[in-house]
Amino acid sequence: MISEPGGNNKMLFSYVKSMKSDSSGVAPLKKDGSTYSDASAKAKILNDQFSSVFTKENCENLPDLGQDIPVEAPH
């Protein structure tokens, strides 16, 4: 399998790539003592965690700040 000097390394690199076992995906997640490896379950767990750190604000009763003032960009 080892290529000779000056030979074509494509076959060697193809073999090495096929034997590579690491993945860049999301590892299994634990929640409430259970382990989840299903993609949709992991997405829900991550979404729940992400959304739990933000506050939902009531945007219906915002004060009126008047008219918008156009801002000119410097030339």
**Domain residue ranges in the chain:** 27-53
| 10-38 pLDDT, tens digit each | 888 888 888 887 666 889 999 999 999 99
| 47-72 pLDDT, tens digit each | 999 988 887 788 888 888 877 777 78
Buried b (16+ CB within 10 A) or exposed e, 31-66: eeeeebeeeeebeebeeeeeeeeeeeeeeeeeeeee
Question: The tokens of 26 are what?
Answer: 């999301």
> Residue 28's closest CA among 16, 14, 45?
45
Which pTM value belongs to this model? Answer: 0.45
